[in-house]
Chains A and B, each alone.
Chain A
Amino acid sequence: MTAPTQAHDGATGAITRAPRKPAPTAFTVIGLAAVLLITLWAGAGIDFTLAPLIHDLTRGEEVLRQFVPNWSFLGRDAVITASLTTLYMAIISSVIGCAVAMVVALLASKVSAPNAVVYQVAKAVMSAVRSLPDVAYGLLFVAFVGTGALGGMAALIMFNIGVAAKLTAESIDAVDPGPIEAVEAAGGNRIQRAFTAIIPQVAPNYFSYCFYVFELNLRASLVIGVVGGGGIGQTIMTELARFNYDNISAVIVLFIVVVFVLDRVSRAIRRRLT
């Protein structure tokens, strides 16, 4: 790389010309071309046009008028029960999901896995679990055990294992090896090593992920409810089928407020943890 400056003679006071712009790298050119092609392909695939944006938005106002919240709907017993069910589902699934995730994470990190085979298998299982969307788990477990919160919680637990195990395994990868060596030198076995050298080091991050997973669960429980997994999502689906948009918007406003508040609380706790 030679500097392409024309003049460098500050002594004579001549104006130095700006250096030539570096040519874009092959990666940039290929990358931009790929982005353009994928965008055209994807846009054509889903018939993306901006036309509805203009002529449908005018219809929007009329549609949105049906969404004036019917607040009295929130007072019904069924709605209160469904909201509490969502909260309980989120709590139970976070705890069970995170507990299992810790075990999976210990097996899926090179630092703590007993051997290479277990490590590879655990990593593969983790990717497979993570790649299925929450709604697929919802449909699957509701089909297994029937509609209701039980199937919903099973679905949330699988979803949580996927998220928490991956994040925790990455934290375990990054632990300080000193304490591990110390425990080994003192003759500790694998379990003692995990409990005295690894878990205490990742604990702040791990608990922070657990609260994060809880936040995700509040949103995901809605998705799970839509496919029959119980809670407030199921209520929304029922009302949608009856075109009671005023009831739905009341539930939605309540849901957003509750999620917002719980998010704040959970975030405050997480900040103190890490």
Chain B
Amino acid sequence: MTVDTPITPAPAGAGKPARPAPPSKVRKTVGMLLLAAVLLLAFTQVDARWERLPAFITEAPGYVALMTQGVLSNPVVDPNADYWLAAINAMIESIQMAWIGTLIGAAISFPLSFLAASNIAPAPVVFVTRQVLNIIRAIPELILAVAVMMPIFGFGPLAGAIALGVGSVGTLGKLSSEAIESVDTGPIEAVSASGARKMQVLRWAVVPQVLPEIVAFWLYRFEINIRAGAILGALGAGGIGSLLSALFNVRAWDRIGITLVTIIVITIIVDQISARVRSRIIFGDTKVRVMEPAEVH
């Protein structure tokens, strides 16, 4: 090791070591300028009726007040009790649709995720399966429902559940195959060494390692599907989306308020339960928080 690195006390005479030069800001500046240019283009070109912007201040508070009134009025008096019950029932139907949809997605994606894992399947199979998953991921549930499920199965919760299920296959398959790719090779070698065939290796060495993580992905997708089902409802698949769009059509603001509060409360409760179960599955302890995959939509 030579001693004359720039970090050593600077030339005799100067009392302090020289400050290091600040890192270059060129990249940052160029990035910012690019972003500003794109934003400017978007703002000037978008067809958005900006003159309606003040409505957020002039009109929205009135509507919010009406919604709050609906939420705060006595919930056990006659019409209100029915409103709350209708919202709760619709939310339950949404949850049922999301659950069945998630199961369908899990059932289809589970075998596919093995075919998409490079440590399990041969390279050409992996390539084809991954492209299929990518294409499914690019198609929103809405399109699946409008273009494929509803013309075939008619409007209803069944079409909604199948659309949610097929829509889930893309992300679930991708996340699960990544989990499979990162398994510990030790158990695989051990099982192979004892003479197991390929399927037996999967059953005894791979599945036990990845199952907790994959089940956690399913549960997380279930949380997402409860939200994603709402748009299918607005198109006639039933559940909370159908109720909401019917209420907005007649502008029943008090009922809208009640319904939105119901959605928030029930969704938070279901999310909490699901998060507890996920953490229990992965860590065996509900006190530990599971980090959610940044990409599950």
Contacts and interface: CB of A to CB of B under 8 A. Distances in A.
A7 interface: no
Given A91-B39, A222-B142, A212 B234 contact: no
Given A95-B39, A222-B140, A248-B146, A42 B99 contact: yes
Contacts of B152: 56-57, 59-60, 63
Contacts of B38: 91
B39 A226 contact: no
B52 A131 contact: no
A226 B100 contact: no
Contacts of A87: 42
Interface in A205-247: 208-209, 212, 216, 219, 222-223, 226-227, 230, 233, 236, 240, 245
Interface string B127-159: 000000011011110110011100111101110
A166 B55 CA distance: 29
A145 B248 contact: no
A218 B121 CA distance: 33
A144 B55 contact: yes
Interface size class of B (residues with CB under 8 A): 35 or more
B230 A39 contact: no
A252 B142 CA distance: 11
B247 to A, nearest CB: 9
Main secondary structure of the interface of A (DSSP, over half): helix
A92 B43 contact: yes
B52 A223 contact: no
Contacts of B47: 81, 85, 148-149, 230
A144 B96 contact: no
B97 A259 contact: no
Contacts of A208: 294
A45 B245 contact: no
Given A63-B151, A91-B39, A145-B52, A135 B268 contact: no
Contacts, number: 202
Interface residues of A, number: 75
B297 A223 contact: no
Contacts of A236: 146
A63 B152 CA distance: 7
B157 A47 contact: yes
A42 B268 contact: no
Given A38-B99, A260-B134, A148 B147 contact: no
B268 A260 contact: no
A88 B45 contact: yes
Interface stretch (B4-12, B56-64, B77-85, B179-187): B56-64
Nearest to B98: A42
Interface stretch (B14-22, B111-119, B259-267): B259-267
Given A145-B55, A223-B231, A89 B251 contact: no
A45 B93 contact: yes
21 contacts: A27-B280, A42-B95, A46-B93, A47-B158, A87-B42, A89-B48, A95-B39, A128-B268, A131-B271, A134-B227, A135-B231, A136-B244, A140-B248, A143-B248, A144-B63, A146-B52, A153-B46, A170-B291, A233-B142, A252-B143, A260-B135
Interface of A: 27, 31, 38-39, 41-43, 45-49, 52, 56-57, 59-60, 63-64, 66-67, 81, 84-85, 87-89, 91-92, 95, 127-128, 131-136, 139-140, 143-146, 148-150, 153-154, 163, 166-167, 170, 208-209, 212, 216, 219, 222-223, 226-227, 230, 233, 236, 240, 245, 248-249, 252, 255-256, 259-260, 263
The 7 closest A-B pairs by CB, nearest first: A46-B157, A131-B267, A42-B96, A133-B230, A45-B96, A88-B46, A133-B227
